[in-house]
Amino acid sequence: MTFMRTFIFCFFLMAILFASIAVRQARADGGQICWVGTSGEYRLTVFVEPVPLRPGNVDLSVFVQDRKSLKPVDDPNILFTLRSIDPSAPPVSAEASRALATNQLFQAAAFELPTAGTWHVEMEVSGSGSASRHTFPLLVGPHRAPLWNVAPWILLPFIPIGLFLAGEIFRAYRDGQNV
């Protein structure tokens, strides 16, 4: 009975290990929601990707809805300007467009962030005769260690090897019982 408990424990441990490597954080189409607010007749939802944020390529996507009906709206112009709290980092700006968005209900803008730290996002929304500006913080983590980029792929072969060894141990135990 002790062997069977050990086998079941090893099996579930391997399953949890595999799930933690294979499953990513649940996200929406455009990444993770980082800001939600209203602007005149619009309701705006801003998504950021990748998660977690690191220096390098960053995508900000915006889903614009009518404030009352919550139907998607496609007429506003959106300009993002990102400013680091580090004065040595230059500000970066980009206009959001549907061409960059993976979901055509969104407008997206791509940036190259040079440094980690807190960045202040200024979002200017204009359209239908109204204009507004919104500011929210964006925390960019440090560069990721190169090993963490490939660690799941290095560890992945150990899962079938572990399952094979567990099966062999189980067969040896079973055959030992029948003798």
Asked whether the predicted pLDDT for residue 177 surpasses 70, the reply is no
Q: CA 160, CA 168: separation in Å to the nearest integer?
A: 12
- Facing residues of 28 across strands? 31
The pTM of this model reads 0.66
Q: Which two tokens stand for residue 115?
A: 């440094």
Residue type, 118: T
Asked whether the predicted pLDDT for residue 22 surpasses 70, the reply is no
pLDDT at 172: 85
Nearest to 143 by CA among 55, 48, 49: 55
Q: At what angle do helices 2-22 and 158-178 cross, to 10 degrees?
A: 170
Task: Look at 20-34, 40-54, 89-103 and tell me which has the smallest mean pLDDT.
Answer: 20-34
Residue ranges covered by each domain of the chain: 2-24+146-178, 32-140
Tell me the average pLDDT across 22-42.
73
Give me Rg for the CA atoms of the chain. 24
Write down the architecture of domain 32-140 according to CATH: Sandwich (2.60)
